[in-house]
Structure 1
C-alpha cells in the first residue's frame, strides 16, 4: 500500500534530515569524506564511514544488485537524542483504496555497536491526530532472532526486516505512519533503516459447504474459514454478514460451531442471513465458523455478493451446494429361474438387491408380502441381509437399512413348496418400497417373481380290458318221453336212462360235427 526506499534522494550528495540526527546516504564516492557528515559525527571520519557501511549492509540485506549503492537513513549517534523521538513520519496522509483493513508497518533496520546499546523501534498508524500503536514490542535489530550478521572491515553489523507485531484494524480512508526510537542514548544506538512499507495484512475469508451434496430437507454445514496472512499476527475484531441465497435457510435451532477466539455466529429472525465475528490469535494460521443450513431439492450458490458489512476480511469466492431427493433401486430374482416350474418339495430361493445409485445416503426399506406364495409353500425362516435389518412377520418379510451413496445390500430368503401339492400352484409375489422403482402399484418387472407348481401326472388303472364273450353252445329243446311198452316199471326207468344218455352223446357228436364243418368253411377246405 505504501513503500519508501529513499532512492529518490539526490544522487550527488548525502541529505541531512532536519530535526533528526540522521542522513540519507549510500556508501559510494559521493559520501566518502563528506565534510558536513563528518562534522555531524563529532568530526570523526570513522563514525561517518560506519554510517555509510550501515547503508551498504542494508543493501546486502535487501538484495540490491550493488549493495554500496543502496540508500538508507543512517545515524551514528553522537549526542543523546532523547527517548521516543520520531525517526520517520509522513507529512501528508496517504489515501487508502479501501477502509476497514488490517494494516501493519514494516521496516528493514541495521545496527552496529550492539554490545553498547541498540535501537528500539516502535510503530504507529495515524488516523488524523490519533496515533494507534502497531507494535506490541519494539524492533531491535541486535537481538531479533531473524537478524543476519554482516562483518565489514572487521566490524560487526546486524540487519533484519520485520513487520509490526500488532496490526491495526484501520477504519479510516486517510493514513499516516510514524516510527519512533525508545532508546534515547547517545552511546551505542548506532543504526539505519530502509524500505519502509505499509502492509495490508487483512485475513481472507472463504466459504464451503460440507457436504456439497445433501439430502433434500436434510442439512449441510456452511463453513467459513478465516485465513491469516503470512505474518501470523493477531487480527482482532473482524466481522461480516452472509445473506443466504433464496430457498436456503439456517437449519432450525442447530448450534453453530467455531474455532475462532471470541467467535460468534448469529442468525436473523428470518433465518436468511448470518452474522459472524471473531479474532485470530497470534500464531494462528486460520479458524472456522460453521452453521447448518437446509433447503428443498435444488442448487444454491453463495458468493462474494452475498457478503455485506465486511470489516477486516477479504471477500470469498463462490460456494455451491446441491440438495437432492434420494432414490434407490430394487431388483428381485429367484432360483429356480423366474417363470419356471417348481416341483413339490423343492426349495425356491429369493434374492432382492437394493442399490443406491445416487450421491447421498438413503434410508431404504422394502416389504415382500408372501401371501400368494404361502398357500403353496412354507417360509424357511432363513432371511439374511448383507447390510441393514431384516425380519419376518407372517406373511410379510421386511428389510430396512441406510445405504451410502453408491452402496448396495443383498437380501436372501427362501420357501419350500409343499409335497404333495396344495394351493393354486402359483408362486407369484412382488416387493414394494416407496422411494424406489417398486413403489406401490409399480409394474416394473424387476419388482416381482413368478413360479408355477405343476399338477401331479395321472397314474395307470389296475383292471385290464374286458374279454370278448364266447358264444354259448345251443341246448336242444327237451323231448317228450315216449309211453312205456316194456314190462314193468324198472325196465321203463332203465330204458329212459339209456335213451337219455344216447341222446346226449348224439347231441355232442352233432355239435362237434357242426364245429368241424364251420372250420372247414372258414379255411376253404369244406
Structure 2
C-alpha cells in the first residue's frame, strides 16, 4: 500500500557518491571505528582463478551507525552517515521507544540527560507496556547484544537502532507491514546485471511464547517499485542465537537475491509484526551485498596437435552464501584462429540454462542460467579446434555480452604444428566404479606409433590432479609399435561427493629432425562413483521425569552421516507443538561424522494429565547436487510424569 515516509523527499547534505563495483571498491557509509574497536573491513570482490571454490560476497554499501551527530541518542531520521547518507522510517517506527540510535554506554534510564528518551519509552497511564526507565535500559542492552554478535572490541560502545515498541502512542502498537528502515538516497549502479541482496545484524528480547516476535522483510527499491529479497519473514528470536541471557541475535541475509539491472537502488526493511506485545528488537550493520557468481575458463588439454581438439570449460562459481542465482547469461567469442569442433559437443550441468554453440562456429553462449540454493558451482563445456599452429588466449575481453556473472581471467591453449609420422592413444581404467575414499584406480594408456618414422621421448601426459607419474616401458617406438603405460589415482572424498572422476591424457613423441613433440588426440575416461547416502538420528531427553508446569526438558539429537557422501543442509524437524527450534552446530557432515543438535520443551498442564511426553524426530540432508533429501528413520524419546508419593 502507498505510504508517505517521514522526511523522504528532503534535500540532504550530499548524495551518495559511490558506484556499484565500477572499480571493485565497496562504498562504506560508516564512521571509522574508535581506536578501541575493530574497524569494518569490506570483503574483496570475487576474483577469477578459483573455479568451484565459492568466495565471500562483496559489501557494496554498509552503515554501522557509528557517525552519531550527538553525544546523546538521536533519532534515525536525524542521523547522517559519513558519505552524507540519510535514512527514514514510517512515523510509527519513530515513536514508542523506536528509532533511537543508542549504545549501552549511553546514560541509563535514571539519568536526567535521557529524560526525553525515557518519556518516549513510557506507556500511557494504565496502558500496556514496561516502565519507561526499564524499556530504555533494555534498548541499551540490545545495542550491546549486537556488539557481542559483531565482535566489537568494546560491545558496550556499539550503536544500534532501537525498535522496542513501548510507549503511549496507540498502546505501543506500530501496526503491521510498515517501513522500519529505508535509505533516502539511492545507491548508483553503473555495472549492469548484478545479483544484490540485503543483510542486517539484529537482536531481540522477549523471545518467549507469550510475546510476539519481529518479522523482518527486506526489499530493494528500483524507482517506486519495491522488490523483496527474502522468501519469508526473518524472526531474530527463532533464527538467532542467545548472545546474552534473554537476548538473541544474528546476521540475517536476504535469501532471494535480485538480478538488478537498474541504474540506482534503495534499501528498505519492513516489519510484518504489528503488535507492541513483544516485538522488542534492535538493528545495526546494514549491508547491501553483491553476491554475483564468478566466471572462469579453462582448456583441457591446454596443448594438442593442429586439427585436434581441446575441451573449453566455463565454470560458474557461487558466492559462499550459496544462495540461488537465477537468470544469469554470457556469450564468449573465440579468438581468431580458434573454432568450435564439428560437432561442438556443447553441454551444461547447470540446473537451468540454454547453451548455444554452432558446429564449426566461433561463439558459445548460455542464457537463463541458474545456480540452485546450496550449489557451489556448475559448468558449461564445448570442444574447440584450430587448423593453425599457435597459442590462443581466451580472456575477459572475449566475453561480448554477460549479465549476472563476474568477468573471467585468461586461459591459453596451444596447437602444435603437424610433424611427419603420427601417434595414437587409447585409455582405460580399472575398476570401472568406486564407492569410498582411499580406493585406487589403475589407468592403462595404450600408445601406438601410427606413422612411418620412429618416435623418441615417448611419454604420456595426464593432467588429473593427484594422479601418479605415468610409467612407460620404453621411451622409443618404431613405426607400428605399441606399448602400455600405467598410472594410479587414489580416490578422495571430494571425488565420491562429486560422483565421478574424469581425466584426459595425451601421448607425445618426437619424430626425427623435429624439436616439438607430436601430440596425440586426447583420450578421456570417466570412472563413476556408487553413491550410498544415509543418515541416522538418536534422540534423548533430560530429565526423563517431570513434575510441574513450566519445567524445561532438554532434548539432544545425535545425527550421524552413515553414508559414503557428504550431506549438506542438514536439519532436524521436530514438529511437537511447543518444541523450540532444533539448533545444530553445523549444516554439513562428512561420511562417518556426527553432531549433536539440541532443543527444549516446557511442560504443560496437559502433559501432567497425560503422564508422559513422547515425540519423535527425523534428520535429513541433501547429497551433493541432489534436490531430494535423504531422511533417517524416526527416533523417539519419552519423559514421564513423577507419581506423587502418598501414605
Coarse TM-score class (shorter-chain normalised): 0.5 to 0.7
Deviation for aligned residue 1:117: 2.1
Would you identify which runs of 4 or more consecutive aligned residues in structure 1 move more than 6 Å?
358-361
Structure 2 partner of 1:35: 115
Note the 1:353-364 alignment, pairs <5 A: 354-355=455-456, 357=458
Aligned mates of 1:290, 1:6 — CA distance in 2? 47
Q: Is the 8 A contact 1:80 1:186 kept in 2?
A: yes
Structure 2 partner of 1:223: 313
Computing the radius of gyration over CA atoms, which structure comes out larger, 1 or 2? 1
Which residue, 7, 15, 25 being the options, matches 2:74? 15
Is residue 95 from structure 1 mapped to residue 172 from structure 2 by the alignment?
no
Note the 1:335-354 alignment, pairs <5 A: 354=455
Structure 2 partner of 1:195: 285
Q: Is the 8 A contact 1:328 1:355 kept in 2?
A: no
Worse-matched range after superposition: 27-36 or 317-326: 27-36
Aligned mates of 2:103, 2:146 — CA distance in 1? 10
| Larger helix fraction of residues | 1
Q: 1:270 to 1:113 in 2, by over 3 A?
A: same
Which residue, 384, 392, 396 being the options, matches 1:304? 396
Structure 1 partner of 2:608: none
Aligned mates of 2:137, 2:483 — CA distance in 1? 86
Note the 1:47-86 alignment, pairs <5 A: 47-78=135-166, 79-86=172-179
Deviation for aligned residue 1:10: 2.5
Aligned mates of 1:366, 1:94 — CA distance in 2? 69
Q: Is the 8 A contact 1:213 1:360 kept in 2?
A: no
Q: Is the 8 A contact 1:328 1:357 kept in 2?
A: no
Aligned mates of 2:330, 2:103 — CA distance in 1? 47
Aligned mates of 2:347, 2:274 — CA distance in 1? 50
Aligned mates of 1:66, 1:80 — CA distance in 2? 33
Aligned mates of 1:249, 1:329 — CA distance in 2? 25
Q: Is the 8 A contact 2:105 2:156 kept in 1?
A: yes
3-state SS of 1:291 partner: strand
Q: Is the 8 A contact 1:218 1:294 kept in 2?
A: yes
Q: 1:404 to 1:173 in 2, by over 3 A?
A: closer
TM-score, structure 1 normalization: 0.63
Aligned mates of 1:212, 1:358 — CA distance in 2? 16
Cα RMSD after superposing both structures: 2.8
Which residue, 220, 237, 262 being the options, matches 1:125? 220
Structure 2 partner of 1:366: 479
Structure 2 partner of 1:510: none
Q: Is the 8 A contact 1:124 1:132 kept in 2?
A: yes
3-state SS of 1:59 partner: helix
Aligned mates of 1:385, 1:67 — CA distance in 2? 73
Q: Is the 8 A contact 1:262 1:279 kept in 2?
A: yes
Q: 1:59 to 1:353 in 2, by over 3 A?
A: same
Structure 2 partner of 1:437: 512
Q: 1:228 to 1:404 in 2, by over 3 A?
A: closer
Q: 1:191 to 1:289 in 2, by over 3 A?
A: same
Equivalent pairs counted in the alignment come to 355
3-state SS of 1:271 partner: coil
Which residue, 221, 235, 242 being the options, matches 1:140? 235
Aligned mates of 2:107, 2:188 — CA distance in 1? 35
Deviation for aligned residue 1:96: 2.3
Q: 1:282 to 1:149 in 2, by over 3 A?
A: same
Note the 1:162-201 alignment, pairs <5 A: 162-201=252-291
Deviation readout 1:326-361 (Å, 9 max, x if unpaired)? 65889xxxxxxxxxxxxxxxxxxxxx9754547779
Q: 1:387 to 1:57 in 2, by over 3 A?
A: closer
Q: Is the 8 A contact 1:263 1:289 kept in 2?
A: no
Worse-matched range after superposition: 162-171 or 257-266: 257-266
Structure 2: tracts of 5 or more residues without a match: 1-59, 78-90, 124-130, 167-171, 423-452, 463-476, 486-504, 515-647
